[in-house]
Chains A and B, each alone.
Chain A
Amino acid sequence: MWSTNPLIAPGDTVILWLTREAIQPLLIEPGKEFNSKFGSYRHSELVGVPYGSKVPSRTGKGFIHVLRPTPELWTLALPHRTQILYLADISFVTAYLGITSGSVVVEAGTGSGSFSHSTLRTIGPTGHLFSYEFHQNRLNKAKTEFAEHGFDTSRVTLELRNVCKDGFGDNVLKLLNRGGEEEEEGARGARGADAVFLDLPAPWDAVESAKRVLRKDKQTRICCFSPCIEQVLRTVTALNDAGFSDITTYETLLRPHDISSVPSLPTIAEARSKIVDIEVRKEEKRVLQVMSGHRGNPGKQAKDQDGKSRDAGVGEKRKREAKDKGDSDEKGEEGKGDEQIGEVEDSNSDVGGGKRIKVEREDRAAGDVRMEVDIEPDSVARPEGLTSTSGSSAEQKILTRVMPEVRGHTSYLTFACLLPQVVETPSMRAKRQKGEKVEMNEEETQEGNFNGEVREKMSTEDESNQEENKSGGDKDGMAS
C-alpha cells in the first residue's frame, strides 16, 4: 500500500491537488522539479512535509496541496490508458460482490487499474487480487504502478492473458483461500476466488472459465460490467446457461450537487418598484417632451429633466409629484383650449388634432402616474428594508442544485451468484441412509454441484412439469 508515514519521503507517490479539476500523481524523486501554472516546486522541498499540507510555490505566488494517495484520489488522478471505473460503480460492485478484508478477487481486464487499486485496498494484506490483461503495454504499466504503490506479489498477481480465449489458468486455484472451512494442507482454506469482476467487451466468453476459478464451498458472485444493453442480454444468457442464479442488473450514478449562497432571493416587490420607477421616468420624459414641444425647445428640456430624475432622492420625488400635479393641471387647461380649437379646426389641422388626442391620453396617464407615485414610497421602502436587514444579519440563503452536466451513464452492472456444492440437511442424510428414494440421487447430493449436468437434469424435469401444466390447462389436452 502507499506510504502510511505522516511525512513525505523520497520514492513516495503523492497526489497533488491543484484545483478540484486538476488532481495528479507525483512520484517524489529529489533532484526533479514539478512545474505548473500554480508555480514550481522542487521534489526535495516536498520531502519531510506532512501529508495534507498546503505548500506555497517558490515564488510564493501559487500553492498546491500535497495529499496521501487513496484509491479514490488515484481514480481522479491516474493516467488513463483505457476508459476507467469511477467511485459509484467501483464501490457498488465491491459491496454487491461482498468483497471485504481477506477476499480473493479475480479481475479481467486490468485496464488502467482504477478498480484494482480500490480492491487491493479493501481486501488488505490477507486478501489477493488476480488481475488479467491481454495488452502487453498496459500490463507493464500496471506492473510498474503496483510496484511503486507497494502492492507486491503477495497481494496481487498480474498475468498477460486473453481470458475470453484462454481462460483464467491455474494460478487462482493454486492459492489457498484462507476464508474457507475445509482443512487442507494443515491450514484452513479453500481453493478458488470469492468474486469475479469482468470488464471485458465480451464477458459472455469468459463466464464458463470464471465459474471454474470460483470456490465451491460457499456462495460466490460475479459481476459483468458492460455499457450496452445488448451485451447485458448476452451476458445474462451465458450466466444462466453456466448455472449462475439470482441474475440481476443495476445501474448506479453519482449526482453531484452545486451549492451556492445568496443574501436572499429577490422579491416581486423589488421587481414591481423597479418597473414603476421606469414607468415614472418614462412618463416624466414624455410629459417634458410634450411640454417642450409647446415651448419649442424639446431636446434641451428633456435632457435637463432626465439628468435631474436620475439622481432624484425622496425629496426630489415629492417635488416631482407636485410638479406632476401642476403639469397635468396645466395640461388639462391647455387640453381644454386645444379641444376648443380642435373642434373648430378639426379637419383643417392634422397637427393640432394629433396633439389633442395625445393630450387627452396624457391626462389619463398622468392621473395613473400620480396614483402610482402616491404608493411609491411604500413599495420602494419594503424591498430596501429587506435588503438592508439581510445584509446586516448576514443571513445567507443556501441554494443547491444538481450540477448541470453529470455523467448520465457508465455501464450496466450485471450480477449473479454461484451456489456451492450441496450440503445435506440431517433429514436428507437420514432419508438417504434409510435407503429411501431421495429426489436427488446419492451421487448428486455428494458432489451435488447444481451447476452443470445435475442441474440440466433438473431443468429438464422442470420443463416436463411445465409441459404438463400447459397441457393441463388446455381443454383439448384434458380430453385426450
Chain B
Amino acid sequence: MSNPDTRPSSSSFEIRSSRIQSGDTVLLRQPNGDIKSVKIQKDSTVSVGRIGYFHCNELIGQPYGFSYDMEQKKLRVLPPKTLDDVEDTDATNELINDGEFVQPLTIAEITALKQSGVHASDIIKKQIEQHANYSLKTEYSKEKYKKRKEAKYSKSFTTIEPTLFNVCEYWFNKDQNRIRDIRPDTLSQMLNLANINPGGKYIVVDDASGLVVSAVLERMGGHGRLITICDTDSPPAYPVMINMNFKPDIVAPLVSLNWATSQEDYAPVGPPSEVPPEEIRSDRQKQRLRKRKLVNDALEKTREELFTGEFDSLIVASQYDPDGILQQLVPYLTGSASIVVQSPHLQVVSDLQNKLRNTPGYLGPNVTESWLRRYQVLPGRTHPTMNTSGSGSYILHAIRV
C-alpha cells in the first residue's frame, strides 16, 4: 500500500481557486478583530472600514491568509505574527491609579501624526515614550497596551480563506439569527451525521441563509444531487454562498423545489407552455413559450427525481414545524438514511424526538447540543477565553428504517 500515484483519474473539481480572483468576495480581518466582507473587482478600489482603501489588483492572484500593510492604496505582505515570550518581572499595579494624567500626547497631536502619514508603529512608540507610568506596568500589561494601540492605529488587514469553518464563524458572529444559530461545531456535526460525501443524493431544507446548502455543496465537490425545498416561489438567494467563492462545477448538483412544487399533486397555476401552432403569432411569443417550456420541463424533471426517492440523507434547518417536513420528505429517503433536524430551540427538537420515538420508521432519535470552548494559549498566560457563545443550537439525529 505504498504506491499513491496509481490514483484513478476520476474528474476532480476544485472547490474554489486557491488564489484570489476578480469577482471573489473576500473576508478581511481588521486589526481590531472585526471582519469585513468585500467584493474584489479588477481595476476597482475597495474600502476596509475606517482604516483606508486599497486597489483590488493588489490582491488579485494572492493566496489567502496573508496580512498586508496598506499604504496609498498599495499592499505590502507582512510577516506572520509569532507568539512572544513575555518575561515575568516584579512589577505590579500597586502604584498605578486609574484616572491619573499619564499621556501628555493629545488627541489632536495624534491625529496630526496620523494625517502626516507617520506609521502606526511610530505613533505607538511615541505614545509609549510620553506615557508617564509605562515603565511601572507589568510586561503582560505592556503587551496588552501595545496590542490595543496597534488595533487602533495599524493600517493592516488579513485575508481569511473562505473555508466552511471560517465562513460559518463569520456569519455566526455577524448575525447568528440569520443562520439559525448554527455554530461551526454544530454545522460540522450536521454534515458528519448526515454522512455527506461526494456522489451522494441529499435533500436539504435551509432557512439558514444557505449556510447548510453551501456546506453540503462543498462536501459534495460537484458530484451527486442536492435538492433543496424552499418557501419562495422562485429559487432562493443563498447569501452565505456568496462568501464561498465556489467554482461553477461545485454548484452544479443543486436544484430547488418549493413547498408547493414538491407536492405530488401539485398542478402548475399559470399559462400553459404548449400552445397549438396556429395560435402562435410572433417569434417573440415562440421564444417565450420555448423558454417557459424549458423551465417547466426542468421543474418536472426535478419533481420526478424527488418522487423517485432513494435519497441518502435529509437535513432540516427550518423555521417550519419539523414534524410536517419529515412526514412529507422522509418517504423519499432510502433505508438506513440519516435524518438531521437542527433548531435554535430545544423544545422544537425535543417535541420531535418524543414524537419520533413512538413512530415506526425512525431508529434511535436523539437530541444533542454542542459545547465549545476556546483557549488563549500563550506562554505563561493560558486560559479559556473570556467570551464564549452560549449555545450553538440543537440537533436531532435519527436513522430511517
Interface residues of chain A, those whose CB is within 8 Å of chain B, are: 1, 6, 17, 20, 50-54, 65, 67-68, 70-72, 87-88, 90-92, 94-96, 98, 100-102, 118, 121-122, 124-126, 128, 130, 143, 153-159, 171, 174-176, 178-181, 188, 217-219, 229, 232-233, 236-237, 240, 243, 245-257, 259, 261, 396, 398, 400, 402, 412, 414, 417, 419-420, 422-428, 439-440, 448, 450, 455, 458-459, 462, 465-466, 468-470, 472-475, 478
Contacts and interface: CB of A to CB of B under 8 A. Distances in A.
B336 A68 contact: yes
Interface of B: 1-8, 10-15, 17-19, 57-59, 61-66, 68, 74-77, 79-84, 121, 124-125, 128-129, 131, 134-135, 142, 146, 161, 163-165, 168, 184-185, 187-189, 191-193, 195-199, 218-223, 310, 334-338, 346-347, 350-351, 353-354, 357, 363-364, 366-375, 377, 379, 382, 394, 399-401
A257 B368 contact: yes
Given A154-B7, A179-B14, A250-B374, A219 B198 contact: no
A101 B219 contact: yes
Given A72-B195, A257-B346, A473-B131, A124 B370 contact: no
Contacts of A6: 310, 334-335
A419 B65 contact: yes
B248 to A, nearest CB: 15
Given A52-B400, A159-B1, 12 more contacts: A65-B363, A101-B220, A125-B199, A171-B4, A179-B18, A218-B65, A237-B379, A252-B185, A252-B370, A255-B370, A402-B369, A425-B76
B3 to A, nearest CB: 6
A122 B223 CA distance: 12
A436 to B, nearest CB: 12
B237 to A, nearest CB: 23
B129 A400 contact: no
A221 to B, nearest CB: 9
B198 A125 contact: yes
Contacts of A475: 135
A13 to B, nearest CB: 13
Contacts of B5: 174-176
B12 to A, nearest CB: 4
A383 B142 CA distance: 67
A52 B377 contact: no
B219 to A, nearest CB: 6
Given A124-B198, A247-B377, A422 B58 contact: no
Contacts of B58: 425-427
A260 to B, nearest CB: 8
B375 A125 contact: no
A126 B198 contact: yes
A253 B371 CA distance: 5
Given A50-B335, A52-B335, A67-B336, A174 B377 contact: no
Given A67-B336, A217-B63, A154 B374 contact: no
A96 to B, nearest CB: 5
A91 B185 contact: yes
B2 A236 contact: no
Contact of B82 (A101, A154, A259, A459): A459
Contacts of B12: 102, 126, 178-179
A156 B1 contact: yes
Contacts of B18: 179-181, 217-218
Nearest to B375: A249
B371 A254 contact: yes
Contact of A95 (B57, B59, B164, B357): B164
Nearest to B77: A422
6 contacts: A65-B363, A67-B336, A92-B372, A96-B184, A252-B370, A466-B84
Contacts of B3: 153
Given A95-B165, A153-B6, A474 B125 contact: no
Contacts of A245: 80-82
A17 B121 contact: no
Contacts of B372: 92, 250-252
A479 B315 CA distance: 69
B2 A157 contact: yes
A430 to B, nearest CB: 9
Contact of B368 (A20, A256, A455): A256
Given A121-B195, A472-B128, A218 B368 contact: no
B13 A102 contact: yes
A233 B371 CA distance: 22
B368 A420 contact: no
Nearest to B222: A101
Contacts of B142: 470, 473
B373 A252 contact: yes
A167 B368 CA distance: 39
A336 B185 CA distance: 81
Contact of A465 (B1, B80, B121, B198): B121
Contacts of A396: 354
Contacts of A100: 15, 163-164, 218-219, 221
B364 A17 contact: yes
Contacts of A118: 192
B41 to A, nearest CB: 15
A218 B63 contact: yes
Contacts of A102: 12-15, 198, 221
Nearest to A15: B336
A470 to B, nearest CB: 8
B346 to A, nearest CB: 6
A91 B368 contact: no
Contacts of B218: 100-101
